[in-house]
A and B are shown apart, each in its own frame.
Chain A
Amino acid sequence: MAEQKAFKTAGLMKDLMAKYYTKGKESREKGIPVAWVTAVSPVEIFYAAGLFPYYPENFGALAAARKVADKLSMVAEARGYAHDLCGYARCGIGDAYADEHPVGEIVKPDLLFCCNTQCGSLPKWFEVASRFYNAPYFLLDSPQIGNEPDKLCEQYFIEQLKELISFLEEVTGRPFDYDRLKEVLHLSNEACRLWNEVLDTAALKPAPFGFFDACFHMAPIVTWRGTQEAVTYYQALKEEVNERIKEGIHAIPDERYKVYFDHIPLWPKLRWFSDIFAAHNALVAVSQYTHSWAYSFDLERPLESLAENYTEEFVNRCFDYRVQLKVNFMKKYGCDGFVLFSNRSCKPNAYGLYDKRNVISSITGLPGVVFEADMSDLRFFSESQIMAKLELFFEQLSSR
């Protein structure tokens, strides 16, 4: 298969991520506290408080992509952390105890902050880490909500943001800067807007950009969201995607179908998957995963707006809401089928997929398949089983 033309912006990404890791080290030297944070959490508060937010999940994904997740995991397993726990957590805990650090050492926290919208693994992992590193831990608790926004949960979230702010004021010894928060929220808005405009180009037929591209380009929206760096990055990416549209460069050579994918990719097999789909002329166009960062904050009501955006995020929603979300994405992007990944690591996204497949098919009439594996750990990867499922799926696609 013809090699796809690489994104120029990829170079920028390399610099940006290198800068991110140096910044972690520099912060420590300058006495700026390093705060561990989670991917779907109001990181804006931390930038506004002048702390350096560090994303251990990103460390897990990196270890997975470099195919060393099992090595780090085994260090944790030797201590009784079972291999069925979330792969990111296993990598993080493993690295804490490990003598060898194949992807560099995880940056040690001065404090830990977890928002449990996403899952129950992060709060437990961070609890373990807070004992290990002997650093204070703050859990922002977010009960699951249904189809509609939930006032009770929003109120709870706001109250906790206030508790968090007092906690950070104590850590930093300075009053919280609400003006700075506005600036940060504005930068988050901008980055989210640009990112989603890029994602939306996957609806064009043929499209210049797809899910696997998004997996590559998503690191800044997670780790730099709330800074000018993220905005600059996505401006550049958007420009490049627009150029590609003009020049007729497509994500895959001969796009005939569009596919919806749920949820996180198999990091160590990203290339393998993207090649298989491309070989079958199917563009994986969209996933709820890469759309997780689509915030729009009201600068006049910062705390309320943070609470609305984060509690109403799909990771914090019930079964039916998530079904509807997937169906809406399939419609918006003109999908011809869907592939759901039952990810052993990520229980909250895996549980329910068997029933969701049936419900989605009956609503949309589209073919769909569920396959089993782990996002980071190749010990749970069976190429033949997954191929068999995908082959069947591709047959259904072509016979539509």
Chain B
Amino acid sequence: MTDHGSPNERGPLARAVLGPLSWLEDRTGIGAFIAPIMTHRVPPSAKWFYVFGSATLMFFSLQIVTGICLATLYAPSASNAYQNLVHIDTQVPFGWMLRALHGWSSNAMVAMMILHMVQVFLHATYKFPREMTWMVGVLLCLLTLALAFTGQVLRWDQDAYWGIGIGAAIADRIPFVGNWARGLLLGGPIISGETLSRFFALHVFVLPGITIALVGLHLVLVLRHGISEMPKAGEPVDPATYREAYEKRIHKEGVPFWPDAAKRDMVFCGLALLALVAIALLAGPMGPNGIPDPTDIETNPRPDLPFLWIFGLVSLIPPASETAVMLIAPGVLILGLVLLPLFGNAGERAPSRRPFMVLGVVLAATTVGILTWEGAKSPWSPVMDAWSSMPTPIEYVEDRGPLELQGAVVVQNAQCRNCHELGGEGGKRGPALDDVATRLSYDQLIRQVQQGGGNMPAFGKNLTSAETEAVVRFLLTMHPANEPVSSPPGALLPIPPQAAERR
């Protein structure tokens, strides 16, 4: 590519073009830099399986371009963000298309990234000498998810609100520094305008910066170690001889990346891009879905697709194991993925010789699939008519005093039942309330009802103090006969003076 001959031997036109080009080449060496990259030899077996990485990169580039355009239109102000998006959708020419592309391309990038990771995992490409490539890849995976999450928050609609709620609940559970981590995430104790500014800075400066740097590193490593061959059963990786053998084979059989392998990437990326545009045209931009209103439970907010499974999980697990599932499990999983190549960087690569790894992928895919479905469907969405159609279980009506019975009515009327089960019936969004008195005291119950928390709306403004008192009195009766209560049974707590004063 650097060899264009002497410009003087060509016609005036060619000279006008090539002259400056060769000047540029002479002074910068860009061509000399790119040429080996384009022509480096790749194994001939590198076929369609290898396109996902390029597709991920392509969608990331698209994210940068559309993201920069959006950043010129978007203002991270809590009071205006919503109207701002509506404005982009309705007033800015093709603004809606820009938002649709950015939103769907984010999902597409996650999808391609996952396919890429699964392929690399199944083919054990992470083995010697490509361990670092994989580790950087895992970091890139986390960054991509973080970008998707922070991006969804910038919509600042109900979905975003619920999303951060769970994020905050996870941060809260970190031992010792939980409160601090929550503050760091939210920019204060509660979800507010500070939170939005924070997520904007993360989404637009911090995360993309790190991601671009790591993508560069990832590519440098890919070039350094060469593209791996399709695994063959019975040809294990031996760190002592692998490099030499690879070099030899590549020299003999390898084909130049450009155009032999690149053409597949380009065909695939082109088709994926077309699909993306079609989806963006058909589905339009994502959200914004209603102004965030923590007390509006008539709607059915949910997070974006890549995170649905987490929410499905959170709504299914028993409260006692929440810390384990929400905090420890992801930590272990991420650490396991990062360290994976250190534990097995030699040996067979072929999936047929690594049945447990294949099983692991199948299991993980099934789990995430089911959880996503759960998150999208039943347990996550409140049961909208539970409050009026699911009778308070008779055993919870019997032996209750008048105020407690009123509390049972409040549970129905305030639609607690839409999210909480009583006697096995009701929404599964929050924990079942059948034995809540064994877990929470009077004060904690009051706080939970008034201030909400986790994923529960605050009812402080919607319930009178008398209704709050009634519902908490009722909840205090919710314990199995043989199990102790958080606050002493029967002992009537004094009417809290502040409850009366609130009026």
A binds B: no
